């Protein structure tokens, strides 16, 4: 914890005479780190402030202030594992933000409510709240908020064991956050990505990302994150059989958790250490660690973690041939799990009551405004959301080019327009030569950087009316508006020339080249769009089979790379004699 920041906060809070000044102080962005470093301090000051508000019968003229206060209180309760009070505060904040049409903060509250349900194992409700939050965030254009919610959704998929689905959210989330200045959010996204990699068996990538999460958290003063992430690094080292390093990480995690009152992370540290001792064959030590974790889990009433540890203790006793103790712990496991199910049912009822109470408290003040907002904004909101979702559906996330599906949709419109107005257009299809060697030599992460920067270069080279698409893998296709076969050929030569400049990557500059096929639409010899693409594809294969790193026009079989108009008419389009069957593009 930053002690100077803590002292500054206390002094300024006590010196503030007006409630609004205290609210602005306790909810300031500067104090975000204190919520994780010293949540009890935030709660103590906030409760004093709430008492003052009640005594003076203070009425918030700015409901955003009220929302910010309850949101801050909710975050502090969440760190302290007081989930019911966290839910109560987040819900109160959400309704305050709804009344002011503050969609960004409403989305944050929805996500935080989902996080509460995640902690009690209700992942379906977690997903519902988080997805609703993302829908709202998409309306705001706030990329940072979108990234945060994509991380939340990705981690929910991790919890559900759906690691491939998790990667669809987490990879673009991390890519964006690496270009931002939000170290706190990036640290949590790196942690989520590490869990996904670990689930996929990609241990080295999991370890690299988790170490980065720890370092980012240290730099940001997020000691809750440091404790949590160090514990998970211990799990990763354990999976690698590096037990001493695993224990050292878990020891650090537990020390931080105990010093700062993070009981959930202290409990996890005992569980992680028990798992390491089990892997080392030190079964008695493992049982002792589980017992310490059980004591904490009982104290903070984390029943899911409790019955999971009882089950693990039974398995350890079996490994140690202590079947009597194994039976005892299995009985404890079943009893704890039954209690957890009953507790969850009770908790769900309490949570529903909390939300219903918050709704009732706000209903009279907010109902008319909410109804008016819904009537006024419903159509516009749906259109905005649909446009955003459609944009996401038609864009390749790695290159930001249009994807294959969007290309065919837009190319069909361009084809009909060209046919109606008797205008030409060109098709350029190219595939990077030997790109597998780039991935094999430098790794897929470097390969992805090459593809992303190539996509950026292609967009800069193309005109506003042209279509640039990642067609699949390392294959790209362009539709060049208004280009006959000669102009399309010239444009392909520009791309080829552009590729002579190596692409900068985190590893080293990478030199790439490609094989090209070119065809063109001419109203005097009308053929279908699919046929034009097929001809460009045939020509590209001809380039592959005749030396690579060259351009072939769809009628060019001589190897000259130039269409001879005096000898070959456009109607005599090149069709290779050999079949495509079995031809490789690599």
Catalytic residues: 474
- Radius of gyration over every alpha carbon of the chain, rounded to an integer in angstroms: 30
SS3 of 510, please? Answer: strand
Q: What DSSP line would sit under 299-360, residue for residue?
A: HTT-HHHHHHHHHHHHHHHHHTT-HHHHHHHHHHHHHHHHHHHHHHHHHHHHHHHHHHHHHH
Residue 431 tokens read as 């595939």
* Pairwise CA distance, residues 35 & 261, whole Å: 12
Do residues 104 and 142 touch, judged by C-beta distance below 8 A? yes
Q: Are 518 and 492 in contact (CB under 8 A)?
A: yes
Start-to-end CA distance of the chain, whole Å, equals 54
CA dist 142 and 144 (Å) reads 6
Query: The sheet that has 551-553: what strands, in order across it?
Result: 467-472, 475-481, 425-432, 514-521, 551-553
Dist CA 285 CA 13 (whole Å): 47
Check if the beta carbon of residue 23 is closer than 8 Å to that of residue 49.
yes
CA angle 493, 494, 500 (to 5 degrees): 95
Helix 19-26 crosses helix 3-15 at what angle (to 10 degrees)? 170
Q: Is 515 left (phi over 0), alpha (psi -120 to 50) or beta?
A: beta
Q: How far apart are the C-alpha atoms of 502 and 513, rounded to whole Å?
A: 10
Dist. CA 413–CA 411, nearest whole Å: 5
Q: Which residue has the tokens 């969007």?
A: 406
Separation of alpha carbons 415 and 421, rounded Å: 10
Structural contact between residues 283 and 323, judged by C-beta atoms closer than 8 angstroms: no
């Amino acid at each position: 914890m930053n002690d100077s920041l803590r002292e500054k906060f206390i002094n300024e809070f006590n010196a503030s005479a007006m409630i609004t000044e205290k609210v602005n102080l306790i909810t300031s962005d500067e104090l975000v780190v204190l919520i994780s470093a010293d949540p009890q301090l935030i709660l103590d000051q906030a409760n004093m402030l709430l008492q003052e508000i009640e005594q003076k019968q203070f009425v918030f003229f700015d409901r955003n202030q009220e929302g910010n206060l309850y949101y801050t209180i909710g975050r502090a309760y969440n760190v302290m594992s007081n989930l019911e009070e966290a839910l109560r505060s987040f819900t109160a904040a959400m309704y305050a933000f709804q009344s002011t049409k503050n969609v960004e903060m409403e989305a944050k509250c929805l996500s935080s409510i989902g996080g509460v349900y995640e902690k009690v194992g209700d992942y379906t409700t977690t997903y519902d709240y988080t997805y609703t939050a993302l829908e709202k965030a998409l309306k705001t254009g706030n990329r940072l908020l979108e990234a945060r919610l994509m991380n939340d959704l990705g981690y929910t998929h991790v919890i559900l064991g759906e690691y491939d689905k998790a990667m669809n959210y987490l990879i673009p989330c991390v890519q964006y956050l690496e270009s931002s200045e939000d170290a706190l959010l990036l640290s949590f996204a790196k942690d989520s990505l590490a869990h996904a990699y670990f689930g996929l068996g990609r241990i080295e990538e999991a370890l690299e990302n988790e170490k980065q999460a720890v370092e980012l958290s240290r730099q940001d003063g997020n000691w809750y994150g440091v404790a949590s992430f160090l514990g998970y690094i211990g799990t990763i080292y354990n999976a690698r059989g590096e037990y001493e390093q695993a224990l050292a990480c878990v020891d650090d995690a537990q020390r931080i958790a105990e010093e700062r009152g993070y009981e959930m992370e202290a409990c996890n540290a005992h569980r992680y250490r028990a798992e390491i001792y089990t892997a080392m064959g030190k079964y008695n030590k493992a049982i002792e660690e589980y017992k310490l974790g059980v004591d904490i889990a009982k104290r903070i009433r984390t029943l899911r973690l409790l019955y999971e540890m009882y089950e693990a203790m039974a398995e350890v006793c079996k490994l140690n041939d202590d079947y009597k103790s194994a039976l005892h712990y299995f009985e404890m496991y079943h009893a704890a799990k039954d209690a957890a199910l009953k507790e969850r049912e009770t908790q769900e009822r309490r949570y529903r009551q909390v939300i219903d109470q918050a709704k009732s408290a706000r209903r009279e003040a907010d109902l008319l405004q909410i109804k008016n907002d819904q009537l006024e904004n419903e159509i516009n909101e749906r259109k905005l959301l649909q446009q955003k979702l459609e944009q996401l559906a038609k864009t390749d996330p790695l290159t930001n080019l249009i994807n294959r599906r969007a290309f065919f949709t837009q190319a069909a419109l361009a084809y009909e327009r060209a046919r109606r107005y008797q205008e030409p257009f060109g098709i350029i299809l190219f595939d990077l030569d030997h790109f597998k060697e780039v991935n094999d030599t430098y790794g897929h992460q470097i390969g992805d950087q090459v593809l992303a920067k190539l996509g950026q270069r292609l967009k800069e080279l193309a005109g506003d009316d042209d279509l640039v698409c990642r067609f699949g893998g390392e294959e790209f296709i362009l539709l060049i508006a208004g280009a006959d076969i000669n102009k399309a050929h010239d444009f392909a030569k520009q791309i080829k020339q552009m590729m002579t400049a190596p692409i900068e990557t985190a590893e080293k500059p990478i030199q790439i080249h490609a094989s090209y096929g070119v065809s063109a639409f001419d109203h005097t010899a009308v053929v279908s769009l699919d046929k034009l693409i097929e001809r460009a594809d045939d020509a590209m294969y001809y380039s592959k089979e005749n030396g690579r790193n060259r351009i072939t026009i769809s009628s060019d079989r001589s190897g000259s790379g130039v269409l001879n108009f005096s000898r070959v008419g456009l109607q005599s389009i090149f069709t290779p004699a050999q079949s495509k069957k079995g031809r490789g593009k690599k």
